[in-house]
A and B are shown apart, each in its own frame.
Chain A
Amino acid sequence: MKDALLTIENLSVSFQMGKRTTRAVENVSLFLQKGETLGIVGESGSGKTVTAMSILRLLPGSAVYPSGAICFNGKNCLTIPDDDIREIRGNRISVIFQQPMTSLNPLHRIGKQVKEILFLHQDISHAEADKKALSWLERVGLKNPATKLSSFPHQLSGGERQRVMIAMALINEPDILIADEPTTALDVTVQAQILDLIRDLQKELGMAILFITHDLGIIKRIADRVAVMKDGQIVETNVPDIIFNSPSHPYTKHLINSEPKGKPDPVDDRDETLIDVSHLKVFFPIQKGILRRTVDYVRAVNDISFTLKKGRTLGIVGESGSGKTTAGFAILKLNRSTGKILLGKNSLNDLDKNKIRELRKRMQIIFQDPFGSLNPRMSVAEIIGEGLSIHNPGITPKDEEEKIIVVMEKVGLDPETRDRYPNEFSGGQHQRIAIARALILKPEFMVLDEPTSSLDRSVQFQVLELLKSLQKEFHLTYIFISHDLKVVKSLCHDIIVMKDGVIVESGPSEKIFSHPEQEYTRQLIATAFH
């Protein structure tokens, strides 16, 4: 392409770790034209971030470039001196990172951090810089920009911080913006606002955007052209229409088809009630002064009630901070709560510690971060078998091993790998191990706390299918906590929508999705199924 703003030719990137070399990107060629948005989509580990970061040479020192060139303004970004690349960074090409929490320095005020970029690249007076910073904070849609200038990052919400990051990236009016999963860490409703903001600013400034994401929905909305990456290579590049409607590469087809679909399996109305929660409250005291008097409470879960029949899935939906995870933990007695929780005939809040411990084999939990929920110092067999020996004290090692093998086969893990450690497995396999650990106790009821949200789409799909088939086979009851309405729709029979600790709306899944009553629910559904 002759009039391309940026061209990447045959780029390969490797990482040198001791004597080992890992190839992260292999012979990638791309170009970016003025004013267009190129989306790079791929699963984690596909090399999309590495490709983008090599443009500004932001990779750690262990990165080497065996081949390729990155041409910007007639110069090769890979070979120009450090001073020249610094001149480009933040000035001609800017980056927005995934984590708005950690991309801002917590010790400096917002204003100082925004102005720093100006002083670096422009000869500008303090008064002018103040004015410019203020106008940009306004432009990225922050309320009360003047007070925000003197705020610290922790005083801002995630969405506001990402807006500040965008202001910092765009204040020098760059030619190219690299957006590396800029919305992944944000709530769905905020995601939509940030995407709209980026698009509006692009029109105003006429810049090109390199948009990196794993979310096909976002790509569909924002990109002019899409490049699909897998294992460090680009498998297909085309306009979204063709990619989504007639993909040519099998991997692209696989990605598109792994969107969660289908409906929960039908259930029998005569099933008995397994869980009955009434007036559940979880309050965290706010203490002030030297005497630590309790002045107020954070009402994380404020008086919620529901019942759940055997063999069904209840979805608890809401944005971060809505209290959905806290509610899930309270039902399992993993935090202190008031109210009545009935599991069968047992009232959990009236039982002592030892009784609860005995009941734990009937109720299990799957966590959001599959790796974090596995002790890295224990082998897979030890992890899965641990609960078994607690609840069946007399079990022989041979029986235990047999049961471990059976349950591993059930969740789709190779029993031969049972002596390995968690770090030797992938994200999807971690979640399977966690499911096996819960399943081996033969529970009746499981809380699934965002079990798929840290997994790639195609893996999500597999894990959801597994959960569904296990539910059918063992007549399991699930509480499924999620912010991802697509997943919820494919799995849940009933839904509770939570906001600020209270239930906004509840009812059968079909009814909620077809006729949402509350404005908040409508908004959630609209942003999820744009």
Chain B
Amino acid sequence: MKKIHEEQWNRFKANKRAYYSLYLFSFLFLISLFSELIANEKPLLIYFDGGFYCPFIKEYAETSFGGEFETTADYADPYVIELINAKGWIITPIIPFSYHTINYNLEGPAPAPPSRANWLGTDDRGRDVVARLLYGFRISVLFGLTLTLFSSAIGITAGAVQGYYGGTVDILGQRFIEIWSSLPTLFLLIILSSVVQPNFWWLLGITLLFGWMSLVSVVRAEFLRGRNFEYVTAAKALGLSDGRIIFRHVLPNAMVASITFMPFILGGSITTLTSLDFLGFGLPVGSPSLGELLAQGKANMQAPWLGISSFVVLSVMFSLLVFIGEGVRDAFDPRKVY
């Protein structure tokens, strides 16, 4: 690691709140990446009659365990469990429900309140809330990260080119962005999502199409300022090419502003997905989504665990992102000394 990055990392670590936020966020994200091992209706490992089975990877018919049907074994069925336990053992995940598993053994009507089986209750179709939050968190963060990555790449490039070259390039770019950003994004999204059946990539593409402008103005401003710095003139006098000047000398200045923005873009991307889901124009029906859970919370005021738990997950996620963003910004500021 280069010394300057080491110093930045040390400065970031010195900010305890940001450091622990990053730690916690990475931990949560890492856990959610392994959601299938934590919340799954299928057991992780079965020992039956001298052989090992991995139902969460491979499907087995009920007959493999001595049952009667040729269909896939239903591991929630007490009869199947009994069959397996007679000749072996089962390791089940901590939460024996996937995001789409419907718990038919509820004591009351869905949505069911928190119980020992469903820690945070179930939603109005009897699906476990914890499982849905876990998978929903994963898909939200993945969506946010991908969108942030692509929109930053496009936005920084556009801003850098406009700011560095200025003049006609800048004017044309700015007018295009003005027109493009005045398109009514939400209506277009709604119309587009009724034309195509939106999935993860469709949504990503559509939101990217209208969301890449957020960094342009910041980066452009930094480049307009930065291209007149004396060390940029010095670099020109050394005979450096435009590309190298942009990357080595001007971009690092713009990066502080961009990176400070990034956690907010990430937050904004997640908000976009959540609100689309909330309105019902987002991910396909049945996908785990925080927005959909929020909508359920709104529709089922008698079941506060829906609204409260999705609210807590969303607010914790956004707070962590803001704290991390703050820490990153301070760490990148060369003038800031702790």
Residues of A bordering B, CB below 8 Å: 17-18, 332, 334, 356-361, 363-365, 367, 369, 372-379, 386-387, 390-391, 419, 421, 423, 434, 437, 441
Closest to B256 in A: A377
Given contacts A376-B334, A434-B234, A441-B238, 18 further A-B contacts (CB under 8 A): A18-B337, A334-B233, A359-B239, A361-B239, A365-B234, A367-B230, A367-B233, A369-B230, A373-B230, A373-B231, A373-B234, A375-B231, A375-B235, A390-B244, A391-B239, A421-B334, A437-B234, A437-B238
Size of the B side of the interface (Cβ < 8 Å), in residues, is 22
With a 10 A CB-CB cut-off, give which of B230, B236, B253 has the most chain A CB atoms.
Answer: B230
Chain A residues whose CB sits within 8 angstroms of the CB of B241 once the complex forms: 357, 390
Chain A residues whose CB sits within 8 angstroms of the CB of B4 once the complex forms: 377, 379, 421
Q: Does B183 lie at the interface of the complex (its beta carbon under 8 Å from any beta carbon of A)? A: no
Closest to B250 in A: A375
Known contacts: A18-B338, A379-B3, A419-B3. The answer to whether A386 contacts B240 by CB under 8 A is: yes
Bound together, the chains give a CA A360 to CA B237 distance in angstroms of 6
The 5 A-B residue pairs with the shortest CB-CB distance in the complex, in nearest-first order: A360-B239, A387-B238, A372-B230, A373-B230, A357-B239
Q: Is the interface of B mostly helix, strand, loop or mixed?
A: helix
Q: A386 near B252 (CB under 8 angstroms)?
A: no
Chain A residues whose CB sits within 8 angstroms of the CB of B231 once the complex forms: 372-375
Q: B237 near A332 (CB under 8 angstroms)?
A: yes
Q: Does B17 lie at the interface of the complex (its beta carbon under 8 Å from any beta carbon of A)? A: no
Q: List 5 A-B contacts (CB under 8 A).
A: A17-B337, A367-B234, A378-B248, A386-B240, A387-B239
Chain A residues whose CB sits within 8 angstroms of the CB of B235 once the complex forms: 375, 386
Q: Which of B3, B236, B237, B249 contacts A375 (CB 8 A)?
A: B249
Closest to A376 in B: B334
What total of A-B pairs shows CB separation below 8 Å? 69
Q: Does B165 lie at the interface of the complex (its beta carbon under 8 Å from any beta carbon of A)? A: no
Q: Does B229 lie at the interface of the complex (its beta carbon under 8 Å from any beta carbon of A)? A: yes
Closest to A377 in B: B252
Chain B residues whose CB sits within 8 angstroms of the CB of A367 once the complex forms: 230, 233-234
Closest to B7 in A: A421
Q: A372 near B229 (CB under 8 angstroms)?
A: yes
Q: A390 near B238 (CB under 8 angstroms)?
A: yes
Chain A residues whose CB sits within 8 angstroms of the CB of B236 once the complex forms: 334
In chain B, positions 310-338 with a C-beta closer than 8 Å to chain A are 334, 337-338
User: In the complex, what's the smallest C-beta–C-beta distance from A127 to chain B, in angstroms?
Assistant: 46
Chain A residues whose CB sits within 8 angstroms of the CB of B337 once the complex forms: 17-18
Chain B residues whose CB sits within 8 angstroms of the CB of A434 once the complex forms: 234
User: In the complex, what's the smallest C-beta–C-beta distance from B160 to chain A, in angstroms?
Assistant: 16
Closest to B2 in A: A379
Q: B249 near A364 (CB under 8 angstroms)?
A: no
In chain B, positions 228-273 with a C-beta closer than 8 Å to chain A are 229-231, 233-241, 244, 248-249, 252-253
Bound together, the chains give a CA A26 to CA B4 distance in angstroms of 35
Q: A390 near B240 (CB under 8 angstroms)?
A: yes
Chain A residues whose CB sits within 8 angstroms of the CB of B238 once the complex forms: 360, 364, 386-387, 390, 437, 441
Bound together, the chains give a CA A365 to CA B235 distance in angstroms of 10
Known contacts: A367-B230, A372-B231. The answer to whether A334 contacts B237 by CB under 8 A is: yes
Closest to A421 in B: B4
Closest to A441 in B: B238
Q: Which of B230, B237, B253 contacts A364 (CB 8 A)?
A: B237
With a 10 A CB-CB cut-off, give which of A18, A360, A369 has the most chain B CB atoms.
Answer: A360
Bound together, the chains give a CA A376 to CA B232 distance in angstroms of 12
Bound together, the chains give a CA A379 to CA B248 distance in angstroms of 12
